[in-house]
């Protein structure tokens, strides 16, 4: 009994020292007696505490992942964006998974080396872990997040994502283009002052320059004009003509599809464009009788021009490239038009919530590894390395679930 | 102070170091292979061999397997004493329970939407597909078809 | 087994103390006793703030739209000192927030948990003193945020302590949801971080640092309750933290987790949407129902200790007590939906939650009967702590029974959001927990300060508080039964409730009396710290380990190695002459030590 107690005391004292970094209180152990304790769990106090902390972390991520699951599967049927819709690249996600797996493995190696007091090897293993952790964060910050941001995909109450391609969406596109100076100081406005928009347009001349450096290529300017007249204004005109609300919605969907194509709408869009030829023909025949003849004439011309441009846009595996992407990538235009992604705001919210908190945990882990690398990484640091390792494995664990949920579902 | 704790000695008795290293390499490889498996379920779905729901299910099974490997080997739970159950079981049960209880209220909320509300929700196309019998057409039905299919099971 | 005494001569109390030493000892102290007292003093200060906020609510309900005394002309000069409806909303929100997050939870877990856990288990300190210190100092950013909430429009959060979206989620949508709401969320999240640090520390300490011989089933019920409370916090709080972050993002980044699609509030279009307001309610109550046990279990534990000590009898049914604490905690996790019966939740889910909630009555009743069994036939000493403990038991019965009313969905649909609910939770939280806290302060004060509080003043304090609290809260049952709504600045606007004004005025007089009676307590408390009669180690002749340490205990708590031979409730044991039998007293020769329980 006495011997057992003694061993236990050793173990206790050791536990305190092992965990010295967050346990300075025991520095001032002078001045009172060293108490002995009842036999308890055969593990260090630091490890008990860390496991308890991990349980709280499990609940934290359960709350977050649960939120994602119910919002994702509770979204109106068929609206949740596919990975391609929102520029999620499963290959990059898989790469990051493998990176975390390797780093988890090297932590285990480091722990084994530390146990055997092989300091150099242990340090090397921890360094590799640190580098892989850094790589994970790097891929997030250099590749993954910018891919979303550059397409306007981020949660925001004044953001570019529209849940529906309705009249509000069309108006937002029209206003954005107008803000870029898409409206010509053209005869259309003067001749057709009966319409409200035209009157409005006449008031807001001259158009402000958009690019802060004042450079907008002629190609970009002409494309923006085409979308303004042949896209936004055309859509508003045609939608207003259509008695059936669902038909009008298809028209507005076509505008959204031109700007930012979604896979799921590509069939419907192709079908709609076929069908639109007839509408255009009919309108063209009756254009002269319309009270807004001049405006309609211009809209028809620009519509034709826009559809021609869209048809000539580079092909992707899912159809044509969107005008937003074309302007951004090929014409080096820095701004983006509002986009239509059903449940897009919720997708962005949950995606950044989950990956953001995970990345935050990775960052904390990296700080821990820096602290470890500053120590000799010997047998003395076994407890420290073990605790950080457990934490790091937990971070890996969370990613194991986030990867399929966010990248493959 | 003597740092050769009772704890670590105990560890070393149980398992030699070399067999350990090999074990950990094996686990790491298994994890990588399982990651590939998650991908292949996606592939199976793309090629209409399994349904979307089935591919989700398989992915979650794979993820659970990976999680178990990490917990059991990397986090050393295989070699811990009985306290491991006291900690891990309540935590997993509680977290699962939380998610499950959210499903009827929040996860299934659109099940009770009216047709009209769905029509005017952010649906991609006209809701002509009222009869769900025609899902899974030859051209790997659109996302929405499959989702509706799952939701109605 | 020998206790190694290391240089006990120069322990503490150097007469010439530098400022730095003072700061290290009393401000950034890592000693659990100092941290406990820091928690105690700060929470008592907030208790005062919360009480004054409550008086504001009572003023409006008794004298609607009349000029508020003292502060009226200061705050509402333009309206002739009359409070605005928004201010009323702010008052009840902040009253609840302050009382729950800044008083009850930190005073139980922070103050008493910190002070008592190491002493009652025979440890020299917490397992992680630095973490312990941090858990106190993380309260200060929370204090800062809640004060900022008072200073930002609309001068205090106004979405209720439950912070239900969409009102709380859409920034600037309504007078109640301006930036004060964001500060409020930050404050609550920070309190959560502090509690979480505390809880892992408490669990580790209780598991790993018990004195030799102190098996889990020899722990005082206070410690059991603190242990279970820590588990509740560890598992429930992270979910609130997650939800809190989501709501902060909803407000600041427009993520819309809790904002339904196409929402328009107060002519403001919440652009982002697609989320679910019910999701917040689920996540919030997943924490906040267990939180009501966080707010009462430690009080139950402390009351058990006080009852056994002053009934001079062993606690009746120690193990059933332990199991019922665990049972309450376990069930407490699966009943959160009973707060949402009228939210339009899935009815099948509602039924499940109703049945689970009803089942909590079982372990709660076990506890009440065991307390009655403990005092039954006891040699009861009506000291001040005992009076408070007895009132806890009786008032808990009232609060518990009214809880069963609202657990039943059909009844709850009628009484939801009426004063019946207000009566219920004040019976549990004020008449229950707060009275237990007063009792515990009287009980452990001698240990904390080495002096005793004045008994006569204590009894006056008890009788006045007890009378006034019943005058205040009991009538609220009647108000609720006739449908008097809570959270409404002017219910008399509806003719149905006009006749209830006199009753509300009576309640307000009682509430003022109740707050005034606390002056006796404050005076007694501060006077006794300096001038109370000095006492020895064990003024109440109690059994617990904490009474074996010096009063107040020095750094490291024990001046001897405590070895435990039995549980803490061996009063009037036949084995010894005295009517108490301390845990550390070796058994007399010839008597076998009590059979050891399972480890
Ligand atoms: Cu509840």
Same-domain status, A315 and A381: no
Do the Cβ atoms of C431 and C398 come closer than 8 Å? Answer: yes
Instruction: Centre a 10 Å sphere on the Cβ of residue A43 and count the other Cβ atoms it contains.
Output: 22
Note whether residue B131 is domain-resident.
no
| Distance (Å) from CA C339 to ligand 1 centroid | 6
Same-domain status, A370 and A276: no
Note whether residue C494 is domain-resident.
yes
Q: Which residues of chain A are within 8 Å of residue B145 when distances are taken between CB atoms?
A: 78
pLDDT grade for C105, boundaries at 50, 70 and 90: very high
A400 to B70: CB separation less than 8 angstroms, yes or no: yes
A95 touches chain B (CB under 8 A): no
Out of C282, C333, C334, closest to residue B102 by CB: C282
Q: Is a pLDDT exceeding 90 seen at residue C114? A: yes
pLDDT value of residue C173: 66
Instruction: Centre a 10 Å sphere on the Cβ of residue C73 and count the other Cβ atoms it contains.
Output: 13
Tens-place pLDDT, residues C360-378: 999 999 999 999 999 998 8
Note whether residue A20 is domain-resident.
no
Quote the minimal CA–CA distance from B105 to chain C in Å: 6
C235 to B90: CB separation less than 8 angstroms, yes or no: yes
A11 touches chain B (CB under 8 A): yes
C6 to A29: CB separation less than 8 angstroms, yes or no: yes
Domain containing B38 equals 1-84
Same-domain status, A322 and A207: yes
Quote the minimal CA–CA distance from B5 to chain C in Å: 16
Tens-place pLDDT, residues B11-51: 444 444 455 778 888 888 888 888 888 878 877 777 777 78
Domain containing A256 equals 164-340
Same-domain status, A150 and A213: no
Same-domain status, A240 and A323: yes
If one compares C387 and A210, the residue with the highest pLDDT of the two is C387
Quote the minimal CA–CA distance from A99 to chain B in Å: 10
Tens-place pLDDT, residues C244-262: 999 999 888 888 899 887 7
B97 to C348: CB separation less than 8 angstroms, yes or no: no
Note whether residue C122 is domain-resident.
yes
Quote the minimal CA–CA distance from B19 to chain C in Å: 33
**Section B71-77 average pLDDT:** 85
pLDDT grade for C16, boundaries at 50, 70 and 90: low
Do the Cβ atoms of A353 and C246 come closer than 8 Å? Answer: yes
Residue by residue, what is the 3-state secondary structure of C465-503?
HHHHHHHHHHHHHHHHHCCCECCCCCHHHCHHHHHHHHH
Tokens of A2: 């006495």
Query: What's the domain count of chain C?
Result: 1
Query: What's the domain count of chain A?
Result: 2
A311 touches chain C (CB under 8 A): no
Tens-place pLDDT, residues C341-356: 988 888 888 898 999 9
Q: Is a pLDDT exceeding 70 seen at residue A150? A: yes
Query: What's the domain count of chain B?
Result: 1
Note whether residue C427 is domain-resident.
yes
Q: Which of A325, A340, A355 is where one domain is finished?
A: A340
- The secondary structure of A138-189 as a DSSP string is HHIIIIIHHHHHTTT-S--TT-SEESS-SHHHHHHHHHHHHHTT-S-S-HHH
Q: What is the CATH number of the domain that holds C387?
A: 1.20.210.10
Residues of B with CB under 8 A from a CB of C: 90-91, 94, 97-98, 101-102, 104-106, 108-109, 121-122
SS3 A205: coil
C282 to B109: CB separation less than 8 angstroms, yes or no: no
Tens-place pLDDT, residues A254-303: 888 888 888 888 888 888 888 877 777 877 777 777 777 777 888 888 88
Note whether residue B26 is domain-resident.
yes
Query: Which residue of A74, A80, A395 to mutate against B (max B Cβ within 10 Å)?
Result: A74
A311 burial (CB, 10 Å; 0-12 / 13-18 / 19+) is exposed
Same-domain status, A96 and A176: no
A63 to C243: CB separation less than 8 angstroms, yes or no: yes
- Quote the CA–CA distance of C347 and C331 in Å, as a whole number: 20
pLDDT value of residue B129: 40
A45 to C4: CB separation less than 8 angstroms, yes or no: no
Note whether residue B133 is domain-resident.
no
Note whether residue B118 is domain-resident.
no
| Distance (Å) from CA C302 to ligand 1 centroid | 22
Do the Cβ atoms of C163 and C284 come closer than 8 Å? Answer: yes
pLDDT value of residue A198: 42
The two beta strands, A339-340 and A319-320, are unpaired
Note whether residue A253 is domain-resident.
yes
Do the Cβ atoms of A47 and A386 come closer than 8 Å? Answer: yes
| Distance (Å) from CA C293 to ligand 1 centroid | 9
Same-domain status, A149 and A169: no
C397 touches chain B (CB under 8 A): no
Q: Is a pLDDT exceeding 90 seen at residue A220? A: no
Q: Which of A340, A363, A382 is where one domain is finished?
A: A340
Respond yes or no on whether the N-terminal peptide bond of residue C552 is cis (omega within 30° of 0).
yes
Q: Which chains touch B (3 or more CB pairs under 8 A)?
A: A, C
Note whether residue C561 is domain-resident.
no
Out of A71, A101, A400, closest to residue B63 by CB: A400
Note whether residue C574 is domain-resident.
no
Within 8 A by CB and 6+ apart from B6, the residues are: A7, A10, A11, A42
Quote the minimal CA–CA distance from A203 to chain C in Å: 27
Note whether residue A213 is domain-resident.
yes
Q: Which of residues 9-28 of A touch C (CB under 8 A)?
A: 19, 22-26, 28
- Quote the CA–CA distance of A150 and A148 in Å, as a whole number: 6
Same-domain status, A92 and A226: no
Nearest CA in chain B to C344: B105
Out of B1, B94, B107, closest to residue A73 by CB: B107
| Distance (Å) from CA C416 to ligand 1 centroid | 13
| Distance (Å) from CA C100 to ligand 1 centroid | 14
Tokens of A348: 């962005």
If one compares C105 and B46, the residue with the highest pLDDT of the two is C105
Note whether residue C14 is domain-resident.
no
Tens-place pLDDT, residues C537-587: 999 999 999 999 998 898 888 988 899 998 899 998 888 888 888 888 888
Note whether residue B5 is domain-resident.
yes
Within 8 A by CB and 6+ apart from A296, the residues are: A237, A283, A287, A290
Q: Which of A298, A316, A340 is where one domain is finished?
A: A340
Q: Is a pLDDT exceeding 60 seen at residue A304? A: yes
Q: What is the CATH number of the domain that holds A72?
A: 1.20.120.80
Tokens of A302: 């620009």
Same-domain status, A178 and A196: yes
Alpha carbon distances (Å) from C108 to A275, C52, C281, C302: 72, 21, 25, 10
pLDDT value of residue B121: 52
**Section B97-126 average pLDDT:** 66
Same-domain status, A252 and A320: yes
Quote the minimal CA–CA distance from C218 to chain A in Å: 12
User: What ipTM does the predicted assembly reach?
Assistant: 0.91
pLDDT value of residue C591: 53
Same-domain status, A143 and A224: no
Tokens of C238: 């992270």
Out of A70, A379, A400, closest to residue B106 by CB: A70
Query: Mean pLDDT lowest for which of A185-189, C236-240, C538-542?
Result: A185-189
Domain containing C163 equals 31-258+282-548
Helices C277-294 and C297-311, interaxial angle, to 10°? Answer: 20
Note whether residue C567 is domain-resident.
no
Q: Is a pLDDT exceeding 50 seen at residue B6? A: no
Note whether residue B43 is domain-resident.
yes
B108 to C346: CB separation less than 8 angstroms, yes or no: yes
**Section C428-444 average pLDDT:** 95
Query: Mean pLDDT lowest for which of A222-236, A315-329, C134-148?
Result: A315-329
Q: Is a pLDDT exceeding 80 seen at residue C287? A: yes
Note whether residue B44 is domain-resident.
yes
Note whether residue C558 is domain-resident.
no
Same-domain status, A91 and A175: no
């Amino acid at each position: 009994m006495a011997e057992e107690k003694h061993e236990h005391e050793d173990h206790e004292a050791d536990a305190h020292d092992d965990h010295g970094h967050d346990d300075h209180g025991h520095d001032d152990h002078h001045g009172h007696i060293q108490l002995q304790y009842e036999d308890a769990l055969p593990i260090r106090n630091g490890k008990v505490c860390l496991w308890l902390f991990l349980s709280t972390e499990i609940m934290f991520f359960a709350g977050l992942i649960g939120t994602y699951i119910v919002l994702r599967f509770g979204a109106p049927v068929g609206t949740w964006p596919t990975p391609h819709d929102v520029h999620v690249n499963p290959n990059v996600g898989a790469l990051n998974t493998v990176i975390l797996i390797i780093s988890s493995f090297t932590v285990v190696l480091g722990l084994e080396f530390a146990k055997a007091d092989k300091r150099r090897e242990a340090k090397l293993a921890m360094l590799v872990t640190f580098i892989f952790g850094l790589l994970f964060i790097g891929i997030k910050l250099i590749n993954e997040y910018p891919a979303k941001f550059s397409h306007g995909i981020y949660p925001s109450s004044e953001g570019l994502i529209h849940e529906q391609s309705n009249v509000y969406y069309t108006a937002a596109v029209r206003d954005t283009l107008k803000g870029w100076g898409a409206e010509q100081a053209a005869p259309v406005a003067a001749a057709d002052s009966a319409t409200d928009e035209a009157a409005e347009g006449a008031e807001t001349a001259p158009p402000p320059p958009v690019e802060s450096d004042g450079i907008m290529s002629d190609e970009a300017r002409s494309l923006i004009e085409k979308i303004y007249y042949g896209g936004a204004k055309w859509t508003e005109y045609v939608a207003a003509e259509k008695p059936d609300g669902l038909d009008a919605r298809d028209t507005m969907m076509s505008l959204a599809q031109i700007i930012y194509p979604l896979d799921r709408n590509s069939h419907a869009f192709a079908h709609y464009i076929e069908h639109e030829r007839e509408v255009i023909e009919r309108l063209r025949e009756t254009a002269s009788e319309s009270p807004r003849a001049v405006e309609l004439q211009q809209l028809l011309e620009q519509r034709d021009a826009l559809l021609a441009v869209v048809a000539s846009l580079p092909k992707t595996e899912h159809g044509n490239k969107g005008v937003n992407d074309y302007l951004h990538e090929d014409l080096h235009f820095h701004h983006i038009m509002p986009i239509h992604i059903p449940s897009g705001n919720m997708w962005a919210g949950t995606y950044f919530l989950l990956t953001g908190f995970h990345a935050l945990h990775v960052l904390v882990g990296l700080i821990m590894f820096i602290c470890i690398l500053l120590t000799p990484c010997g047998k003395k640091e076994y407890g420290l390395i073990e605790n950080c390792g457990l934490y790091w494995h937990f971070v890996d664990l969370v990613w194991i679930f986030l990867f399929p949920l966010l990248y493959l579902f | 102070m003597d740092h050769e704790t009772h704890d670590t000695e105990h560890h070393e008795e149980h398992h030699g170091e070399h067999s350990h290293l090999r074990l950990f390499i094996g686990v790491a490889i298994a994890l990588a292979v399982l990651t590939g498996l998650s991908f292949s379920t996606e592939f199976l779905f793309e090629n209409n061999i399994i349904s979307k729901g089935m591919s989700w299910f398989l992915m979650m099974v794979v993820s659970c397997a990976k999680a178990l490997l990490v917990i059991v080997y990397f986090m050393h739970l295989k070699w811990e004493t009985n306290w491991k159950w006291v900690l891990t079981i309540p935590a997993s049960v509680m977290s699962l329970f939380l998610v499950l209880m959210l499903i009827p209220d929040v996860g299934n909320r659109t099940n009770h939407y009216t047709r009209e509300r769905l029509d005017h929700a952010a649906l991609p196309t006209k809701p002509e597909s009222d009869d769900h019998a025609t899902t899974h057409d030859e051209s790997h039905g659109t996302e929405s078809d499959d989702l509706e299919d799952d939701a109605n099971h | 087994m020998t206790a190694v005494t290391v240089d006990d001569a120069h322990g503490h109390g150097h007469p010439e103390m530098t400022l730095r030493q003072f700061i290290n000892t009393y401000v950034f102290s890592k000693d659990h006793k100092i941290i406990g007292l820091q928690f105690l003093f700060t929470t008592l200060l907030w208790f005062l703030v919360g009480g004054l906020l409550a008086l504001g609510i009572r003023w409006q309900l008794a004298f609607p739209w009349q000029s508020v005394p003292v502060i009226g002309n200061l705050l509402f000069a333009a309206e002739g000192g009359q409070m605005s409806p928004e201010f009323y909303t702010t008052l009840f929100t902040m009253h609840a927030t302050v009382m729950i997050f800044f008083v009850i939870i930190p005073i139980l877990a922070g103050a008493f948990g910190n002070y008592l856990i190491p002493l009652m288990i025979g440890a020299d300190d917490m397992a992680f003193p630095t973490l312990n210190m941090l858990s106190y100092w993380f309260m200060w950013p929370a204090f800062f945020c809640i004060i900022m909430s008072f200073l930002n429009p609309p001068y205090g959060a106004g979405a209720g302590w439950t912070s239900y979206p969409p009102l709380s989620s859409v920034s600037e949508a309504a007078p109640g949801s301006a930036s004060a709401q964001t500060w409020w969320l930050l404050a609550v999240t920070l309190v959560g971080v502090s509690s979480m640090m505390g809880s892992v520390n408490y669990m580790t300490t209780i598991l790993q640092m018990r004195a030799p011989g102190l098996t889990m089933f020899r722990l005082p019920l206070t410690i059991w309750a603190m242990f279970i409370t820590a588990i509740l916090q560890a598992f429930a709080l992270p979910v609130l933290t997650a939800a809190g972050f989501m709501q902060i993002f909803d407000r600041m980044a427009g993520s819309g987790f809790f904002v339904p699609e196409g929402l328009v509030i107060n002519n403001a279009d919440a652009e982002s949407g697609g989320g679910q307001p019910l999701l917040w309610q689920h996540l919030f109550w997943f924490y906040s129902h267990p939180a009501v046990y966080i707010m009462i279990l430690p009080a139950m534990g402390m009351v058990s200790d006080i009852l056994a000590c002053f009934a001079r009898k062993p606690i009746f049914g120690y193990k059933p007590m332990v199991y019922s604490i665990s049972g309450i905690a376990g069930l407490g996790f699966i009943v959160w939906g009973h707060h949402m019966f009228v939210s339009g939740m899935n009815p099948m889910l509602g039924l499940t939650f109703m049945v689970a909630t009803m089942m909590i009555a079982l372990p709660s009743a076990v506890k009440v009967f065991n307390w009655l069994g403990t005092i039954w036939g006891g040699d009861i000493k009506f000291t001040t702590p005992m009076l408070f403990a007895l009132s806890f038991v009786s008032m808990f019965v009232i609060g518990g029974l009214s809880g069963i009313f609202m657990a039943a969905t059909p009844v709850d649909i009628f009484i939801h959001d009426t004063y019946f609910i207000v009566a219920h939770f004040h019976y549990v939280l004020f008449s229950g927990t707060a009275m237990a806290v007063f009792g515990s302060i009287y009980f452990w004060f001698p240990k904390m300060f080495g002096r005793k509080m004045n008994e006569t003043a204590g009894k006056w304090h008890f009788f006045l508080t007890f009378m006034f609290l019943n005058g205040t809260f009991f009538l609220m049952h009647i108000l609720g039964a006739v449908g008097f709504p809570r959270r409404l600045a002017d219910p008399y606007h509806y003719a149905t409730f006009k006749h209830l004004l006199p009753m509300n005025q009576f309640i307000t007089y009682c509430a003022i009396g109740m707050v005034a009676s606390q002056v006796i307590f404050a005076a007694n408390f501060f006077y006794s710290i300096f001038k109370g009669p000095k006492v020895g180690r064990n003024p109440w002749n109690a059994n617990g380990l904490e009474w074996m340490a010096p009063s107040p205990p020095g750094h490291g708590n024990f001046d001897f190695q405590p070895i435990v031979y039995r549980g803490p409730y061996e009063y009037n044991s036949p084995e010894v002459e005295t009517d108490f039998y301390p845990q550390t007293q070796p058994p007399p020769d010839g008597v076998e030590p009590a059979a050891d329980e399972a480890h």
